[in-house]
Amino acid sequence: MCPRLLADEYLAPLVERFHALDPKSRDDLSISKDDYIAMQVIGVGLEAGQRVLDLTSPLAMAGISIFFITTYFSDYIVVPLHSKAQVIDALEKRGFRF
């Protein structure tokens, strides 16, 4: 996941190179045309797991697709940019603030 500008500048040429080497890779390798935003989940220890549930449940109920990334240091919930207003609305109804 990276900014669109960087994907177009650095990743797109690599993808095209792979496609030139193996035309069948067009079905397997691409850069999404959609843009996404990431929300960092802030919590400590087991609290972070509950926080993820608190955040993802209202999004699921609102029918918003999510992609979840977990790292050693933090967790992230990635949502489509076109769903931003819907995400904010769903989470504000559950008491979250932006």
47: phi > 0 → left, psi -120 to 50 → alpha, else beta; which? alpha
Chain region(s) in the chain for CATH 3.30.2130.10: 34-98
Report the percentage of the chain scoring pLDDT > 90: 60
SS3 sequence of 57-83? HHHHHCCCCCEEEECCCCEEEEEEHHH
CATH level 2 (architecture), domain 34-98: 2-Layer Sandwich (3.30)
| pLDDT tens for each residue of 12-60 | 999 999 999 999 888 889 999 999 999 988 766 667 678 888 889 999 9
Q: Which pLDDT value is given to residue 78?
A: 95
Give the pLDDT band (50/70/90) at residue 72. confident
Residue 84 scores a pLDDT above 90: yes
Say how far apart CA 68 and CA 42 lie, in whole Å.
14
